[in-house]
Structure 1
């Protein structure tokens, strides 16, 4: 009796397990073949993949172009693809050898050792050309193909600005809850412009060469290689940026060659209010999260660059009279400690006298305790500088990912504290602004006071080069400084360079006349040998008489005597001049 009960229990358990496995098999084979598990895995596609060899020519994702239509995200290069099954065929190895300039034995060895299709690109064959691709395809032999494909190992320029793509299932579900056709393995933009423009760049179909294999890797249906591609004249889309590829590359080379490790540079086209080049250091490394921050869009202590704001407020409030002088033997708190002598307003700005601007700030705040932040707003330092507006269904589309806005006061009570006002006046205490905002301020001054949003993209194009959407010039919200204030600022910004003791006198021999302002901000950090670390700035525009470019260079966390700011600014201006000459 006991044995019979145990036998029945065992049979029942066996049947339960059997029916569970049968139900699971039905689930896999019949009911959920295209959306298995919570991850919605397409089992049919995965099954086909297991018996398919393929070469991805293009992932089908949209791309970024520079202002002249040059590729920014990986240039398509000539390549030749050889499939492994050729070793079993009497293929024209002699002719392929002649076209590629490789020995026949080398080609045969590559295929003999290959488990996947062999891709020969310019990294392996230096003299591979468009003609090589044409000659290869003229052979019309199955398993031998000439194509154009992006080099996956090629380093893209403007890495921080353009951003990156990755597999991120959670972000995919969040951004595209209704797009069930998107596989969980789909790559989406996770940073930079790849993220902000992701909806327009998403791949619909990739382009690849593929063939089916048996368990041993031999062709399953003979030498039938299929070509799959997006048969659409309009997609994928392309984002035409304002970046000048030549200038961007030159800026990156300058920072690399000079050894600037942390900080960066941003160059604007003043007339178009657009970014020509933007570099952030350290270089972006996807395995190191701390390297992905774009410091050109991050609020940083500006130091004496912020004296531009105090100068503008003093001019507008008529606090600077002709003949007014300042005792620049006093430090920022009005105590003995400096030795610059008695200076005029213009000389004080050129030599960056702290006392002049802290004393002016104190007078201004007594009249109006909002004067500093109001002037900062007029100059575009308290709101994001990047383009924001309506794009199709999205009212608040932003071109620049994770761009921050500047701040002036940490606490309104600081306005009644003399030392806090003094520190604020020279761009310390709680003052933080982004290099892009500072560059945009310089552009606004150069334009006569008109401030605009900064564009990084001009338009979105269809594959056939027709326009899908364009981004019009837009003003920054709020008031502008008046023309008289702008003219007076232009005058003292120029004096920074022309004055014998000006902090920008090094730039006197450049091919353009420069106007600008230096800045040195304490970070509160020190080197191992107790040297103080600073953020060193130079912000300006050029040519001073007919402004075309606004440039900001920032070297962060550097001892004062090792700052590369002026050297990098100097070199970039020369590169811009060389680029202009080459274009004429």
Structure 2
């Protein structure tokens, strides 16, 4: 008897061992053979019975300098899950719910009474879940309808978000996802639908913004995909005191909003405004037009390129480079006089003042933006010298701060898409006198970004020392402690010495003359005494004559606090000089902001 029992147990053990071996083979061999992947069947079987929607992707937050969020707006939304008919609420409850949402009971029943999987309540035509007011949320919760729950939801991009081009956007890119995170494709944290930073700070700080898991609401079904009423709704979220991380920028969201509103009211269609703190080289505001909707990328909204870091023809603001090079190389004296008769016949170059400026010094030529004088001065400089001084002053190179991630060593470039610009194009006959003349007035091949232009003013205020503009200050943990801080740095050194303090001082004084006696006289009634340089570049757009208007400068002139550049792109050649007017408007906003701060203190 004992022997039979022993044999029976051995047989049963062999059977179970065989079954276990077969299951193991299916798990580790068969599935891998047929799919080319390692698949956890247990996890997979649970996921097959789990249906859910994401309330928060877990992505990090991008904030302004005072930790006011640009992204990740928390709001209350309505989540509806599938249940059996008798769990969908009584007629009186449905009527009250519909009234709270501005619907009829019929509209509610038609759209949401028999949902097959969890859904958000959305207003007609909307992509995002509808936000509930505090009153709506409280009243709906009080109704106690089993399959209707008020849940917290994070909207990545608020409808009124500012600094959109600087912040950037996210999008789905499965191939890039696999390249960036090959080790996480089977850990459940990422899926092919995971969104990655595709531009701006979103892209540059992807390693920090990725997060450690989603917050979702789920419900479970049986083998026939019917809702399990006892488990019909469940909140799943990661538990971490440190994530998601917060990327703290140098931007001032209140100032950014005021400037954006100002240029929109004024009618800027194409262009940019950059505002920098001259003491720290921090970018306080970065405006780019046309604006884009980060929630509609891939749906026809294509104007997402950041005009603040794209290089275009600068016109007369480039005369600051020519003046600096000529003074530093001692090929001209500040008091040397030049003759302008309106044209430089040798090269077919005209001055904006058709009758000419007559006899004038280099300082006066700078203030009056005399083309003929600066073409003559440029002819005394070699092409290599012009390029060298352009680089010393932050042109013909990228200037935005760059670094490396402490997480994975990847490069960090907050000014995503920043262009170097240029002085001469490849293949240009640099030694040609006509080329040099046109280059001397910022035409021909010369290209400059608004960020470089604002940073030029910062460089001159700081005695010729070129700093890297900064857009991100640090990264903080979710609990408020700091993970890493990013500091600005000089871009000039032993190999690339700055211009002298004397030349920088003289150029600052000449920028003051632009306002007091030259092309910037309209700025004399500004809230502060200002200094700067105007520019008007002639361009062709689809065969039509257009102009780029520029103004860069600093204020207050006696104790500089802010540097500002304004670019108005593709404007009519006959239009008013909007760039000068809007430079004044932005500086007046900065003056008002300073006054408000002083009153507050």
TM-score for the superposition, normalised by structure 2: 0.81
Superimposed CA distance per residue, residues 549-577 of structure 1 (whole angstroms, 9 cap, x where no aligned partner):
11111122221223632343233223333
Q: Which residues in structure 2 correspond to 1:86-235 (within 5 Å)?
A: 88-89=86-87, 102=100, 106=104, 110=108, 113-114=111-112, 115=115, 116-119=118-121, 128-129=133-134, 143-151=147-155, 154-155=158-159, 156-180=161-185, 181=187, 182-213=190-221, 219-222=227-230, 224-235=232-243
Residues 365-407 of structure 1: CA deviation (Å, up to 9, x unaligned): 3xxx532122112211122111123432537532222212132
Q: How far 1:183 sits from its partner (Å)?
A: 2.3
Any idea what SS the aligned residue of 1:476 has? coil
Change (3 A) 1:442 1:136: same
Q: Distance in 2 between matches of 1:289 and 1:27?
A: 50
The equivalent residue for 1:547 is 560
Q: CA deviation at 1:140?
A: 7.9
Tell me if 1:384 matches 2:398. yes
- Distance in 2 between residues matched to 1:254 and 1:40, nearest whole Å: 56
Q: Give the counterpart of 1:251 among 259, 271, 282.
A: 259
Deviation at 1:298, TM superposition (A): 1.8
Task: Tell whether 2:544 aligns with 1:503.
Answer: no
Match of 2:77 in 1: 79
Matches of 2:195 and 2:431, distance apart in 1: 53
What is the rounded CA distance, in whole Å, between the counterparts of 1:431 and 1:577 in structure 2?
33
Q: Which residue of 2 aligns with 1:489?
A: 507
Superposed displacement of residue 356, structure 1: 1.4
Q: Deviations along 1:335-383, whole A, 9 cap, x unmatched?
A: 7953222222222111110111111122233xxx532122112211122
Aligned pair in 2 of structure 1 residues 183, 414: CA closer, same or farther (>3 Å)? same
Shift of 1:187: 1.2
| Local SS of the residue matching 1:557 | strand
State how far apart, in whole Å, the 2-side matches of 1:496 and 1:343 are: 14
Match of 1:11 in 2: none
* 3-state SS of 1:247 partner: helix
CA distance in structure 1 between the partners assigned to 2:414 and 2:385 by the alignment: 31
Aligned-pair Cα RMSD in Å: 3.6
Residue ranges of structure 2 left out of the alignment (5+ in a row): 1-22
Q: Deviations over 1:197-240 (max 9, x none)?
A: 11111132111222124699863233541111110110111111
C-alpha displacement at 1:483, in angstroms? 1.3
Conserved? CA contact 1:143–1:223, under 8 Å? no
Shift of 1:139: 8.1
Which position in structure 2 is the counterpart of 1:394? 409
CA shift, 1:90, in A, is 8.4
C-alpha distance in 2 between matches for 1:35 and 1:258 = 64
CA distance in 1, matches of 2:240, 2:440: 58
Q: Deviations over 1:433-486 (max 9, x none)?
A: 221111111111122222211111000111111111110121113322221111
Whether the 8 Å contact between 1:241 and 1:459 is mirrored in structure 2 is yes
- Pick which of 402-411 and 202-211 moved more: 402-411
Deviations 1:105-129 (A, max 9, x none): 8578526630244447999988813
Inter-CA distance 56–35: structure 2 relative to 1 (3 Å threshold): farther
Which residue among 265, 283, 288 is the counterpart of 1:280? Answer: 288
CA distance in 2, matches of 1:45, 1:343: 82
In the alignment, which of 442, 466, 486 is matched to residue 427 of structure 1?
442
Counterpart contact for 1:84–1:112, Cα < 8 Å = no
**How far has the Cα of 1:489 moved from its partner?**
0.8
Q: Which residue of 1 aligns with 2:333?
A: 321
Q: Does 1:309 align with 2:325?
A: no
CA distance in 2, matches of 1:111, 1:379: 66
Secondary structure at the counterpart of residue 100 of structure 2: coil
The 1-side partners of 2:477 and 2:441 are apart by 48
Local SS of the residue matching 1:235: coil
Q: Quick one: distance in 2 between partners of 1:283 and 1:495?
A: 35
Change (3 A) 1:136 1:220: same
Quote the residue 1:20 is aligned against. none
Aligned to 1:438: 453
